[in-house]
Amino acid sequence: MDIADLRKSYERDALDEHAAHADPLRQFEHWLQQALNAQLPEPNAMTLATVGADGRPSTRVVLIKGCDARGIVWYTNYHSRKGRELAAHPFAALQFHWVELERVVRIEGAVERTSEAESDAYYASRPLDSRIGAWASPQSEVIPSRATLVANAAQVSARHLLNPPRPPHWGGFRLVPDRWEFWQGRKSRLHDRLRYRKEGSDGAWIMERLAP
């Protein structure tokens, strides 16, 4: 089949201004819970887009690990490409794509590091292999072979045994949203798109319908 002939009619649901929550965080939590209830594969996976100092964008998939009024949290290596790009240009975009529900959520905003205490607490909650992996992988760097990772992991295990501390180059980021967009697929490509943006000195959320 020619890839240009691949098509799907979106008919599962609708997104109406009067039914959507006035607070985008509450709307997101509602949709995320529905994705969890539907037992979708990795409903916590989100695409993270950053921009380098040269203006070149890059994306990768990360996992949401926290969500509250302060923002959206994930954890990573601060020396990775995304870590370096966020240090130089602390703004990013996130996207969730729940294919089975025919939904997309896009989030934009400034990015900051989580506190040391938050990073410590989450790191301590990870399985031992994941804690060792945070030390063993020089994320985004060129390595000779997979054997390098295995050897690094063995060295970390021998050094720290069952209690490796959090690496100083590993921790959390928090995106503080100033824009949200909720997309619900609809028939005939007349999709529903609701955007929330902050306006005014009080930072009130304004909801707007966008053309698909």
CA 60, 61, 66, 71 dihedral sign is positive
Q: Which residues contact 120 (CB under 8 A, 6 or more apart)?
A: 166
Q: Is 189 a catalytic residue?
A: yes
What CA–CA distance (Å, rounded) separates 51 from 40? 30
130 is in an annotated binding site: yes
Kindly name the residue from 12, 26, 159, 189 that is annotated as catalytic: 189
What CA–CA distance (Å, rounded) separates 43 from 37? 10
107 is in an annotated binding site: no
103 is in an annotated binding site: no
179 is in an annotated binding site: no
63 is in an annotated binding site: yes
What CA–CA distance (Å, rounded) separates 116 from 129? 21
9 is in an annotated binding site: yes
140 is in an annotated binding site: yes
What type of residue sits at position 97?
H
Asked whether the beta carbons of 112 and 83 are under 8 A apart, the reply is no
65 is in an annotated binding site: yes
Q: What residue numbers does the annotated binding site for FMN cover?
A: 60-65, 75-76, 81-82, 139-140, 183, 193
**Catalytic positions, written as ranges:** 189
Q: What residue numbers does the annotated binding site for substrate cover?
A: 7-10, 65, 122, 126, 130, 189-191
Q: What residue numbers does the annotated binding site cover?
A: 7-10, 60-65, 75-76, 81-82, 122, 126, 130, 139-140, 183, 189-191, 193
